[in-house]
Structure 1
Amino acid sequence: MQGNRVIRSNLSRITSLARFLFSAAYTKPSEFSTSVIKTNVFTPTNNFTFPFHFSSCSTSNLETLNAPKISILDEKDCSGSDNDDEEDIVATDVKQLKISDEGVLKDAKTLVDILREFSHKRSEMRNKIEECGIKVSSELVSEVLSWVRNDWEAAFTFFLWAGKQSGYAHSTREYHTMIAILGKVRKFDTAWALIDEMRGGETGPSLVTKQTLLILIRRYCAVHDVGRAINAFYAYKRFKFAVGIEDFQGLLSALCRYKNVQDAEHLMFCNKDVFPFNTKSFNIILNGWCNIIGSSREAERVWMEMSQRGICYDVVSFSCIISCYSKARNLHKVLRLFDQMKRMGIECDRKVYNAVIHALAKGRLVKDAISLMKSMEEKGVAPNVVTYNSLIKPLCKARKLDEARQAFDEMLQRGISPTIRTYHAFLDIIRTGEEVFGLLESMRKMGCQPTNDTYIMLIKKFSRWRQFDNVFKVWNEISENGNGPDRSSYTALIHALFLNGKLEEAHQYYMEMKEKQLLPEPKTDELLQDWSYNKQFVERQRASLKAHQPQSGQNTTVISKKSDQDREFLQQPETRRVYLNVEGCLVCLRFIPFMVAVLTVATKHMGLGTGGKECPCSDEPWSWQ
């Protein structure tokens, strides 16, 4: 009898703990990027007012679809940026492409609508495309592929159809875009088949370039398949390309870009006889530890290694190490290296200034940061959007909204257009859903379209607030205004739903993700598979209990109430008799392993981000309109 009470008590504790775990809060990473972003100049006007009460400005009306477009990066700057964004694992630069022909835009939208409407009916999709009678051009193919790049089957179906149209042949750009899309979903065999097709046989000219192979190298690095990335590098010789130190540095850069820094460093040392050490090779490794991994300890080790081997530091070396200490909030070392750089006679570039300004702003030395910004301008180094982002983001985190608004206002007055990172800094501190959607609308009016990173951030924010209507509103906007949800978007939504107790919905989107052949992360797989297994286990036990219910009822002893009345209460101590529901107890006992499993899984995945409730209150009123 007492054992049953203990079981019920423990079960109550487990249930309470489970509810607590499901309501734990998402932890949002905050990282700073020192990458230089090209901007379009805004011209002041009085026709549009930004909702922060900053200066008025507008942008030119670009006749383009509201979606980011793909163009392959020419990744020559080894300093790079700390771009660990898993959404953009395509090694591509996302930018807006201007299309002047309205007919191409209309045709592209028609094709995209067909591809999305019949995404699960491939045969009907091909028939509808044939019936639309659209003339294919290189510009049209690039536009459509950029729109459907997160649905590789639709993209590949359209790519094959376009290649068969008379009067059109794929150029290198279209092949590169399609290979990048295939590599993103690990369809490497199909990607290699396209490369063989690009060779053109014995008579036609080959369209294969070093950039073609570099795209696949980056794809392999993105999925951490270092061996195949190196094999793709060796394929340079198979295609009769001369391999030089710059090509090897491209391999090192690709490895470091996707956090394979240790493998890149090992590869550099193993090939020191073929590709001798130089400053740029070490800078790639240094940047990997500094800005990609963010390990100041490993960065110091590589820094000392360069000194011991006689490798000269340059402005890129100092930019990397200063940026690393800036992110680590080590202002003392930032200023010491900044002084050392000046003593060595190395001219500071914009990236160094940006890193120091960011460190000063993080250290709440705003006046010093602004003074340094003026000093860099006096030396002929003009501030850019990254400079202002370096100032605005720490100010937002420190809740110094007036200073952040002033910096934003000054940036607009200089004709520097804000980037998505600028808006992310303000979105991060917004406290209500109305403010969020108000700022999103203002972003679009300013010509800055939200990216999947933006939507992922908002999904996590709204799930923290338990505002799931807004979560799904954002989810719908991904498809309506962007290129559709990708792997990272699904992962964010699934974790948000699961860790807030919405298990069935999380499993539904997990299955939808797999149907689209978007490979879930291993942690997502483990999370949902453990839950699915335990759910099936409980259902089997419940069915078994129902099957044995008559036997359980027959074995239950019915105690007459008269037995208590016939006793002499003065001769015996008073006792309490508990009448147990046998079936209910068995269900509780069967349910305990399931709850333990759920708790184990939830505890294991606390690092993925949880979903606790944050009070959407604001220290300062905001007016977005």
Structure 2
Amino acid sequence: MNPTLLQTLLRNLVRRRSNHGFLSLLIQPHFNSSSFNHTHFFISTNSIGLKPFVTNQFSSSFSSKTIRGNNSDDFDKDEFDQTISDDDNYNGEEVGVKDEFFIRDVEIVMRILLDFRSNCKEARDKLEQCGVVVVTSNLVGEVLSRVRNDWEAAFTFFVWAGKQTGYSHSLRAYHSMIAILGKMRKFDTAWSLIREMKSLVTPQTLVIMMRKYCAVHDVGKAMSTFYALKRFKFEIGIEEFHGLLSALCRYKNVENAEQLLICNENTFPLDTKSFNIVLNGWCNVLANLRESNRFWRDMARRGIKRDVISYSSIISCYSKARRINDVLKLFSEMKESGITPDRKVYNAVIYALAKGMLFKEAINLMKNMEENSVVPNAVTYNSLIKGLCRNRRTNEARIHFDAMLQRGLYPSIHTCHILFGCLSSGEHVFELLESMKKNACCHPTNDTYVLLIKKFCEWRQHENVFKLWSKIVEDGLSPDRSSYTAMAHGLFWNGKVEEGFKYYKEMKEKGFLPERKTDEIFQAWLSGRKTEELCTLEQKNDKLDSGLSRKKKTNRFGRDLSQ
């Protein structure tokens, strides 16, 4: 059989099985699974009126709040991140003025957690002995933010802090810890915290769990958590349903979200906002032009009114596909329909023009944008700067960057990442990195360091790679999976295999699951090294045996008697 045909058949088979599993979850009114036992919160679909699917052959549509785009070429991460924070920083206290005592306490705790991160018991004992630390909500929030990629250190600190006199965990602290545990798939521990919260539990608490299950594509448990709202005596209305759709779409379970939307229209009537959530999933999370177009047409077929959010999503999808004519056609259609373009729509069109190297047209549209009382933001400039940088028009990119600053617009982290692509020396990279640290709006993130580690590996500047790694902790961050992967891969392909293996090993020790490719290259290297060591040992043994044999055949004067 043709290998390509075989792969296609296998993909289709896996997809059918996946759909069947999701369908069966909704069809069974008393669904039960031993894997759900730890929650004890399952509510059957019938208890809230959710309908089963009768077929997966259908189409559908989309409008209001949007979801994070996961496309690697997303023109507008800032634009599409407004409804859901990646760190799940939910309602709670904001960290206020950081006085010297607060900073001192944070440093003491962080030093203990970093020094004893491989031994939780010893870290806990050291925290008990430190004495001077005053535990407050701000302190807990700051520490959890810094160790969010090390769940054991975070949980050790969280448990210790909760036992300190005069302090009790706030809702924000619980949510932060639950998000950290969910990110590392420690769902049993997260549920134990939820049970501990008792009256503090809010619908948002369960939304965090839904998102984390969706992040690992466990749609069944995400839905079980959705039904658990009833168990906690919360109303299950359209807003909660939108939360489930958003969580599914945000982590690329868009097909499941669409099925859920269409098959439950009697319980949750189809509206523009519901369709917008799923449309944005197809357009900006998966960037699937074919499915986006199908869903867009189905929206019209079902009589769902399109709004400015609907148009911004579909236009952004065509923009990423470099379909400039279609972008301009949709832009005109929207205005003819009486819908006034907002900044997101203008940004999507400007992005398409800049990507198509139509910089003059993009700048003219920016002027038109201002004439219509729509003020450009950092995202608008990002599109121009990125396009100019890609076309090696660095001077023009800097002019627009300066113009952005003159407008009082602080560069976003995305803008700085684009500018890093224009730089050609390590000196300039570190200059921009230091200036980012002085700007509260674009302080370096793990993504910044991953980008720069890859850049320096490409330049084969190994000293700068290690220098960057040390700065991650200095900046109050903790290396995540992507950071370790970038170090391991970059060093490996630069011939620094032993150093790369050290980061690969440390990544696994910290509980991060390596990518399949990472596992393959280092397991192959280990296998080769063992084979090489075995061959070397055999050669040494052969030489030793040969020497002993030769010694036996010589007289006391060293003459070979075998001759």
User: Shorter-chain TM-score: which interval?
Assistant: 0.7 to 0.9
Offset at residue 458 of structure 1 (A): 0.7
Q: Are 1:505 and 2:499 an aligned pair?
A: yes
RMSD of equivalent CA atoms: 2.6
How far apart, in 2, do the equivalents of 1:246 and 1:325 lie?
Answer: 29
Match among 463, 471, 480 for residue 469 of structure 1: 463
Offset at residue 315 of structure 1 (A): 0.6
Offset at residue 100 of structure 1 (A): 4.4
Task: Say if 2:106 and 2:139, in contact at 8 Å, map to a contact too.
Answer: yes
Cα separation, partners in 2 of 1:529 and 1:398, compared to 1, 3 Å = same
Give the letter aligned to residue 507 of structure 1.
F
Q: Are 1:106 and 2:94 an aligned pair?
A: no
Match among 55, 76, 85 for residue 33 of structure 1: 76
Offset at residue 365 of structure 1 (A): 2.2
How far apart, in 1, do the equivalents of 2:137 and 2:437 lie?
Answer: 28
Offset at residue 300 of structure 1 (A): 0.8
Task: Say if 2:89 and 2:176, in contact at 8 Å, map to a contact too.
Answer: no
Task: Say if 2:213 and 2:221, in contact at 8 Å, map to a contact too.
Answer: yes
Match among 348, 359, 364 for residue 341 of structure 2: 348
How far apart, in 2, do the equivalents of 1:190 and 1:227 lie?
Answer: 19
How far apart, in 1, do the equivalents of 2:96 and 2:482 lie?
Answer: 27
SS at match of 1:119: coil
Pairing 1:311-330 to 2, within 5 Å after superposition: 311-330=304-323
Offset at residue 551 of structure 1 (A): 8.6
Offset at residue 543 of structure 1 (A): 4.0
Match among 382, 387, 390 for residue 380 of structure 2: 387
Q: Are 1:520 and 2:518 an aligned pair?
A: no
Q: Are 1:252 and 2:254 an aligned pair?
A: no
Kindly provide the CA deviation profile for residues 23-55 of structure 1, in whole angstroms up to 9, marking residues without a partner as x: xxxxx95442253399xxxxxxxxxxxxxxxxx
SS at match of 2:149: coil
**Structure richer in helix, relative to its length:** 2
Offset at residue 215 of structure 1 (A): 0.7
Give the letter aligned to residue 497 of structure 2.
L
Aligned to 2:473: 479
Aligned to 1:607: none
TM-score, with structure 1 as normaliser: 0.72
Pairing 1:10-89 to 2, within 5 Å after superposition: 30-36=73-79, 75=84
Kindly provide the CA deviation profile for residues 235-283 of structure 1, in whole angstroms up to 9, marking residues without a partner as x: 1111111111221111111111112222222222333332232222221
How far apart, in 2, do the equivalents of 1:157 and 1:316 lie?
Answer: 43
How far apart, in 1, do the equivalents of 2:507 and 2:542 lie?
Answer: 39
Q: Are 1:300 and 2:293 an aligned pair?
A: yes
Offset at residue 537 of structure 1 (A): 4.0
Match among 404, 411, 430 for residue 404 of structure 2: 411
Kindly provide the CA deviation profile for residues 351-399 of structure 1, in whole angstroms up to 9, marking residues without a partner as x: 0011111112222222222222222222222222212222222122122
How far apart, in 1, do the equivalents of 2:302 and 2:168 lie?
Answer: 51
Cα separation, partners in 2 of 1:330 and 1:255, compared to 1, 3 Å = same
How far apart, in 1, do the equivalents of 2:486 and 2:258 lie?
Answer: 32
Pairing 1:144-163 to 2, within 5 Å after superposition: 144-163=143-162
How far apart, in 2, do the equivalents of 1:122 and 1:193 lie?
Answer: 19
Task: Say if 1:392 and 1:425, in contact at 8 Å, map to a contact too.
Answer: yes
Kindly provide the CA deviation profile for residues 128-150 of structure 1, in whole angstroms up to 9, marking residues without a partner as x: 22232222111111111111212
Q: Are 1:529 and 2:527 an aligned pair?
A: no
Kindly provide the CA deviation profile for residues 383-426 of structure 1, in whole angstroms up to 9, marking residues without a partner as x: 22212222222122122223222221221111111111111111
How far apart, in 2, do the equivalents of 1:263 and 1:528 lie?
Answer: 36
Pairing 1:253-272 to 2, within 5 Å after superposition: 253-272=246-265
Q: Are 1:241 and 2:257 an aligned pair?
A: no
Task: Say if 1:99 and 1:105, in contact at 8 Å, map to a contact too.
Answer: no
Task: Say if 1:90 and 1:219, in contact at 8 Å, map to a contact too.
Answer: no
Bigger shift: 280-289 or 122-131?
122-131
Aligned to 1:438: 431
Offset at residue 310 of structure 1 (A): 1.7
Cα separation, partners in 2 of 1:91 and 1:139, compared to 1, 3 Å = closer
Offset at residue 173 of structure 1 (A): 0.4
Q: Are 1:143 and 2:136 an aligned pair?
A: no
Q: Are 1:182 and 2:181 an aligned pair?
A: yes
How far apart, in 2, do the equivalents of 1:553 and 1:226 lie?
Answer: 67
Task: Say if 2:88 and 2:175, in contact at 8 Å, map to a contact too.
Answer: no
Give the share of equivalent positions with the same residue, in percent: 58
Cα separation, partners in 2 of 1:423 and 1:98, compared to 1, 3 Å = farther
How far apart, in 1, do the equivalents of 2:124 and 2:77 lie?
Answer: 45
Bigger shift: 188-197 or 496-505?
496-505
Give the letter aligned to residue 119 of structure 2.
K
Offset at residue 500 of structure 1 (A): 3.0
Match among 97, 113, 116 for residue 114 of structure 2: 116
How far apart, in 1, do the equivalents of 2:528 and 2:302 lie?
Answer: 57
SS at match of 2:121: helix
SS at match of 2:200: coil
How far apart, in 2, do the equivalents of 1:166 and 1:238 lie?
Answer: 32
SS at match of 1:135: coil
How far apart, in 1, do the equivalents of 2:235 and 2:535 lie?
Answer: 66
Aligned to 1:367: 360
TM-score, with structure 2 as normaliser: 0.79
How far apart, in 2, do the equivalents of 1:452 and 1:98 lie?
Answer: 24
Task: Say if 1:34 and 1:354, in contact at 8 Å, map to a contact too.
Answer: no
Instruction: Structure 1: state its 5+ residue gaps.
Output: 1-27, 39-72, 76-87, 200-205, 555-625
How far apart, in 2, do the equivalents of 1:412 and 1:380 lie?
Answer: 20
Aligned to 2:554: none
Q: Are 1:494 and 2:488 an aligned pair?
A: yes
The total of aligned residue pairs comes to 476
How far apart, in 2, do the equivalents of 1:143 and 1:368 lie?
Answer: 45
Bigger shift: 362-371 or 447-456?
362-371
How far apart, in 1, do the equivalents of 2:396 and 2:372 lie?
Answer: 24
Task: Say if 2:95 and 2:138, in contact at 8 Å, map to a contact too.
Answer: no
Offset at residue 154 of structure 1 (A): 1.3
Task: Say if 1:90 and 1:218, in contact at 8 Å, map to a contact too.
Answer: no
Aligned to 2:169: 170
Instruction: Structure 2: state its 5+ residue gaps.
Output: 1-70, 549-563
Match among 385, 393, 415 for residue 422 of structure 1: 415
How far apart, in 2, do the equivalents of 1:92 and 1:454 lie?
Answer: 20
Give the letter aligned to residue 159 of structure 2.
L
Offset at residue 174 of structure 1 (A): 0.3
Task: Say if 2:246 and 2:277, in contact at 8 Å, map to a contact too.
Answer: yes
Task: Say if 2:487 and 2:500, in contact at 8 Å, map to a contact too.
Answer: yes
Kindly provide the CA deviation profile for residues 93-128 of structure 1, in whole angstroms up to 9, marking residues without a partner as x: 999954344422221222112211222233332232
Offset at residue 533 of structure 1 (A): 3.3
SS at match of 1:523: helix
Give the letter aligned to residue 105 of structure 1.
I
Give the letter aligned to residue 280 of structure 1.
K
Give the letter aligned to residue 465 of structure 2.
V
Kindly provide the CA deviation profile for residues 316-338 of structure 1, in whole angstroms up to 9, marking residues without a partner as x: 11000111111121111110000
Give the letter aligned to residue 118 of structure 2.
H
How far apart, in 2, do the equivalents of 1:499 and 1:29 lie?
Answer: 23
Give the letter aligned to residue 160 of structure 1.
V
